[in-house]
Structure 1
Amino acid sequence: MSCVDLKGKTILVTGVAGFIGANLVKRLFADVEKVTVIGIDNMNDYYDVRLKDARLAELSERPSFIFVKGSIADKELITEIFEKYKPQIVVNLAAQAGVRYSITNPDAYIESNLIGFYNILEVCRHSYDGGCTGVEHLVYASSSSVYGSNKKVPYSTDDKVDNPVSLYAATKKSNELLAHAYSKLYNIPSTGLRFFTVYGPAGRPDMAYFGFTNKLHEGKTIQIFNYGNCKRDFTYIDDIVEGIVRVIQKAPDREKGEDGLPLPPHKIYNIGNNSPENLLDFVQILSEELVRVGVIPEDYDFEAHKELVPMQPGDVPVTYADTSALERDFGFKPSTSLREGLRRFTEWYKEFYL
């Protein structure tokens, strides 16, 4: 792998007002000298825009942060950004997220996840002239959803992932295929990261832990799918960001094969906690932490507010990351416990909403 020095570099982060994007940029500013970040986000209302505004306001306090409001599906805009700022590193986190939403709103996924990612690949391609100039490393978000309903666990990046069970998963698998092809054709070092159920303070309200918290606080019933027989590899946001930062700084090597043509400098890694939690246990820990911080009262009747329901279309019964490749190549394994992560989330929730 080739070392990528971030000092003094210009980094383009798409989806910058999103949960992962904003936390990544905060970390870059904290750790990297003289770094400039160009952030793009369309600021859509898929979830509470106040969260995006709050994240963006914090980032905008930095003089070396430049924000562009717009969509990565706008090829002209993306081209203008590249021509003006000439980023050496690109982290593509912009995507229409959510498995269930993809069933009712497919257009949003094709626009952002396919057309948008294609535009990113194209500008990376045209930035590279065959020498040492241009984009040094493209890092992009994939998802544990690509594993579909694979029966073998833990999920390994060596597993076949040809049976997506949602459009969202299909678009993420497509991203990996496109990146591989562009890496092969144009020698663009790229790394895909399959994230596993990311959670934490100021996270996405469409995620289970956030939605459960809202409903419990409002005295509404929460629905636990597959009758509670689901397991998720919950991964705390700080662990995700630590993984991304380490990956950015090591790009796959540009090498030539026996035919004299480039071997694709393309890698894929899982970033997960390597410790799936049963949803019923997860709800129990969340409820205890909500009581601890005073979001809900100590005498709250949880059993009366829980409903066990069947599996939803597009969902899978278990997610479980094999992180051995991440440990081998980057010396890192996520380690934040679910209780610790949910404690930080509930403390933030109380401060932000109550």
Structure 2
Amino acid sequence: MAANQDKVLVTGGQGFLGAWIVKQLIEAGAHPIIFDLRQSDDILRQVLSEEQFAGLERHYGDIADPEQFKTLVLASKPSAIIHLAGLQIPTCKVNPVLGAQVNVIGTLNVFEAVRLLAAETGQSPIRIAYASSAAVLGPKADYTNPPVPDDFYHKPATIYGVFKLANEGSARLYWQDHKIPSVGLRPLTCFGVGREIGLTSAPTKAIKATIVGQPYVCSVTGTTGFSYVKDVARAFIGAAFSTSDGAPVFNIRGEVTSAEEFIDYVRQILPAAEKLITIDGREVPIMADVDETGLQTMLASVPAPYGLTGAFPTPLPDAIRETAEHFQRLQAENRLHVRDLE
């Protein structure tokens, strides 16, 4: 690792979004350090090149254990932290205590580790870019004057959303009390290679199913905010290297359209989908019509090599085409599994 290379600690870095963030950090010349619960290579191997995968630095532990994470932060002294580790909506619903330990206590442990690092080094606290969620928003019926601004008062409809809203409040108070800068981002329906679990994974699975020639019923209907994983990864990296003070939280709008329109694009790009893909499910119960002005303004100010290049967001047909081509490459290399389609 070059002496002047930025080190970025990525919690949950083996997951869907984490893998793409790690890839883009490497391509930008940074050195990602992955912290995750246990070794899991599957998504990383779908996303990274062999050379990128071989050079990974990974550490394992429980984000809810303050000593494990603090030890890593004090030893590695990263330039920034991108915090993604967390349990999803179904797990939090079934086991809310575990969900709170990982999603809330785990996030507090990240902020505490940064506070301790600043005290040890005598330097200003490093920035944290963390994953909040569009799940902090309620359903569409709760909002009468969209698009919804970043700072609107929300009443989330899931315990997961409540946990994420608590994390936004914690971030605000760590800035108030300890001047730890942070940026929270609220993605909604993310798609791309590696998206394999959760209700909003269905659009990605529809693309994969078409590539392998397998019938698939898309379980998402109605309007939502579609975000290409590459764009969300770009936003997190930009947030980690932004220069603004405070603890802002930004909506990620993506492209607001219907699942039916998304599948129509898939059928245009992959004609086999006409016979293979049907839609029969439910709407994502989260307001999608949000204002993204704050995010766009923040990202426009991020300097190279971490600032935006190219269109943001990527036009939806282009993003679907890129995802399909990536799946086709994996299939040609006999590396495309279908476990998530079963």
Interval containing the TM-score (normalised by the shorter chain): 0.7 to 0.9
- Partner amino acid, structure 1, of 2:249: I
Answering whether residue 31 of structure 2 is matched by residue 36 of structure 1, we say yes
Matches of 1:15 and 1:133, distance apart in 2: 26
Matches of 1:242 and 1:306, distance apart in 2: 30
- Partner amino acid, structure 1, of 2:156: P
Match of 1:140 in 2: 130
- Partner amino acid, structure 2, of 1:167: I
Match of 1:261 in 2: none
Match of 1:179 in 2: 171
State which of 229, 237, 258 in structure 2 corresponds to 1:245: 237
| Structural RMSD (CA) | 2.9
Matches of 1:18 and 1:301, distance apart in 2: 28
Matches of 1:58 and 1:205, distance apart in 2: 27
Matches of 2:219 and 2:320, distance apart in 1: 19
Matches of 1:318 and 1:191, distance apart in 2: 21
Answering whether residue 54 of structure 2 is matched by residue 61 of structure 1, we say yes
Alpha-carbon distance change, 51 to 31 in structure 1, aligned in 2, over 3 angstroms: closer
Alpha-carbon distance change, 208 to 102 in structure 1, aligned in 2, over 3 angstroms: farther
Q: Deviations over 1:218-256 (max 9, x none)?
A: 3244434xxx4x211111122222222322222333xxx
Contact residue 215 and residue 222 of structure 1 kept, 8 A: no
Matches of 1:298 and 1:334, distance apart in 2: 27
Match of 2:340 in 1: none
Q: How far does residue 335 in structure 1 lie from its aligned partner after superposition? A: 2.6
- Partner amino acid, structure 1, of 2:247: H
State which of 1, 23, 26 in structure 1 corresponds to 2:23: 26
State which of 285, 301, 319 in structure 2 corresponds to 1:316: 285
Farther-moved stretch of structure 1 (176-185 vs 194-203): 194-203
Contact residue 140 and residue 193 of structure 1 kept, 8 A: yes
Q: How far does residue 81 in structure 1 lie from its aligned partner after superposition? A: 0.3
Contact residue 232 and residue 278 of structure 1 kept, 8 A: yes
- Partner amino acid, structure 2, of 1:322: D
Matches of 2:273 and 2:205, distance apart in 1: 20
Alpha-carbon distance change, 83 to 277 in structure 1, aligned in 2, over 3 angstroms: same
Alpha-carbon distance change, 87 to 131 in structure 1, aligned in 2, over 3 angstroms: closer
Matches of 2:276 and 2:74, distance apart in 1: 58
- Partner amino acid, structure 2, of 1:188: I
Answering whether residue 69 of structure 2 is matched by residue 91 of structure 1, we say no
Match of 1:335 in 2: 313
State which of 195, 199, 207 in structure 1 corresponds to 2:191: 199
Q: How far does residue 105 in structure 1 lie from its aligned partner after superposition? A: 4.3
Alpha-carbon distance change, 268 to 212 in structure 1, aligned in 2, over 3 angstroms: same
State which of 139, 150, 155 in structure 1 corresponds to 2:148: 155
Matches of 1:105 and 1:343, distance apart in 2: 38
- TM (norm. structure 1) is 0.78
Match of 2:111 in 1: 121
Q: Which runs of 5+ in 1 are unaligned?
A: 1-5, 254-264, 292-296
Matches of 1:120 and 1:109, distance apart in 2: 16
- Partner amino acid, structure 2, of 1:330: L
Q: How far does residue 51 in structure 1 lie from its aligned partner after superposition? A: 2.2
Match of 1:256 in 2: none
Contact residue 87 and residue 135 of structure 1 kept, 8 A: no
- Partner amino acid, structure 1, of 2:36: D
Aligned length: 313
2:132 aligned counterpart, secondary structure: strand
Q: Deviations over 1:63-89 (max 9, x none)?
A: xx4200222112221021022112231
Match of 2:304 in 1: none
Match of 1:210 in 2: 204
- Partner amino acid, structure 2, of 1:147: L
Q: How far does residue 209 in structure 1 lie from its aligned partner after superposition? A: 1.1
Matches of 2:147 and 2:104, distance apart in 1: 28
Match of 1:294 in 2: none
- Partner amino acid, structure 2, of 1:218: Q
1:233 aligned counterpart, secondary structure: strand
Matches of 2:273 and 2:195, distance apart in 1: 25
Match of 2:333 in 1: none
Match of 1:259 in 2: none
Match of 2:268 in 1: 288
Match of 1:258 in 2: none
Q: How far does residue 267 in structure 1 lie from its aligned partner after superposition? A: 1.3
Alpha-carbon distance change, 84 to 343 in structure 1, aligned in 2, over 3 angstroms: same
Q: Deviations over 1:156-186 (max 9, x none)?
A: 112112x110112111111101111111111
